Amino acid sequence: METTAPAIFEIGFVLLVAAIAGWLARRAGLPAVLGYLATGLLVSPFTPGYVADRHQLQVFADVGVVLLLFEVGIELDVAELGRERGSLFWTAPLQTVLTALAGAAAGLLLKLSLAGAVLLGLCLAFSSSVVAVNITRSRRRTTDAATDHVLLGWSVLQDVAGVTLSIIALIALQLQPTSGVVAVELLLVYAIIVVIATGLLPRLLRQLRQEHDLFLIVSVASALALAGLGARFFGMPLALAAFVSGLAISESRESTEARERLLPFRDVFAVLFFVAIGALIDPGALLKGLGWLALLLALLVVAKVAPIYLLARFGRLPGRPRQIATGLGQIGEFSFVLATIGLSRQVIPSELYAAILAAVVVTIAASTLLVRLGYSRPPAA
């Protein structure tokens, strides 16, 4: 037990610092996520002072991203999307494709490899589901109900379209451990397993609804096991497998309860996920990649915020087009996952990787603040 004491202390210390930083960020009118990212920078090996065990943080961060994206998958109501007949059903996927293509074209012009350029485009295409939810639930929110509905629906459809494109790209560009026909076969086998889980898991949870401890254990274990199975044996990135696994119970009556039971665990581990992102930001590499950062921010405005605004306005979506565009104008969790894959496969240079991580911080802060400008808070219900 004595040998584990330093590790336990470190996790507790990092979480406490992150909580304080998150509280300070909220007092300043910023999302708590920025405080968590700042905490990671403080305990990273690239800044003076205390240095946290990055391997230990990464393990907890992996659990965090699995639970985070598993919960996003649970929140996705496929049946409701199937009933959606408005403009949102085509505008969100169209924006995802347009942004990805524009980003990939820019990457090719800047001499990135085809794989690196495609990953860059996909990184830009995703927004943060966590930020979108926080915008609609913040005590300082100025969005109305119609805008909230479009923001959440757009982010969900964007995730579906983006994940589909990402899986196709990873296989086609041979960025998976397996490629070609074998990768497609493994993907189909994993899809069959998820479909089987879709039938079995809700029934099991239904039997355990009165057994609160077992219901929670099965929910968490299912998230980790299905995601780990996809990553370990079928070559899927852990985060993508977690998202797909969340779909297994998304349409069941138990999905809402499972999501509520998972939230406390997800929140704790998600803090460590964002801390780990902050700990990966290398100021030295970022200084070399300032040009990349400027490009990312420019592309985000031109290839993402502007198309969302135009599509929301001319697609006659309910809500406020400017708030929809600015509320989705950030780089999200999936972007970090794809950038990490690109760095590990050496198709994205370290300077660009550092710029993507920095863009996460800058765009989350900017979108959260700009979405409030020019509007007053809605009256209390």
pLDDT tens figures, 210-228 = 787 787 788 778 777 887 8
Q: What share of the chain is helix, strand, coil (3-state, %, to 5)?
A: 75, 0, 25
The whole-number pLDDT of residue 50 equals 78
Average pLDDT over residues 154-181: 80
Asked if 260 and 87 count as a contact pair (C-beta separation under 8 A), the reply is no
Long-range contacts of range 22-31, CB-CB < 8 Å, 24 or more positions apart? 22/271, 29/140, 29/369, 30/365, 30/368, 30/369, 31/131, 31/134, 31/364, 31/365, 31/368
Q: In 202-218, which positions are buried (b, 16+ CB within 10 angstroms) versus exposed (e)? A: beebeebeeeeeebbeb
The whole-number pLDDT of residue 118 equals 94
What average pLDDT does the structure give for the chain?
Answer: 81
Q: What is the DSSP letter of 84?
A: -
Asked if 281 and 46 count as a contact pair (C-beta separation under 8 A), the reply is yes
Residue with tokens 């085809």: 114
Top-confidence residue, 109 or 271? 109
Average pLDDT over residues 102-131: 92
In angstroms, the Cα distances linking 28 to 24, 35, 363, 368 are 6, 11, 16, 12
Q: Which CATH architecture has domain 2-370?
A: Up-down Bundle (1.20)
Scanning 110-144, the segments in alpha helix (DSSP H) are 114-125, 129-137
The whole-number pLDDT of residue 381 equals 47
pLDDT grade for 113, boundaries at 50, 70 and 90: very high
Percent of the chain scored above 90 by pLDDT?
Answer: 19
The whole-number pLDDT of residue 20 equals 93
Domain boundaries, the chain: 2-370
In angstroms, the Cα distances linking 25 to 29, 129, 249, 274 are 6, 19, 34, 14
Among 89, 169, 101, 87, which Cα is nearest to 337's? Answer: 169
The whole-number pLDDT of residue 1 equals 47
The whole-number pLDDT of residue 4 equals 65
Percent of the chain scored above 70 by pLDDT?
Answer: 86
Average pLDDT over residues 166-182: 76
Q: What is the pLDDT of residues 35-83, one digit of tens each?
A: 888 898 888 888 877 777 777 777 766 777 777 777 777 766 655 555 5
The whole-number pLDDT of residue 81 equals 57
Residue 318 clears pLDDT 90, i.e. is over it = no
Task: Write out the DSSP string of 249-317.
Answer: GTTSTTHHHHHHHHHHHHHHHHHHHHHHHHHH--HHHHHHTHHHHHHHHHHHIIIIIHHHHHHHHHTT-
Average pLDDT over residues 326-352: 88
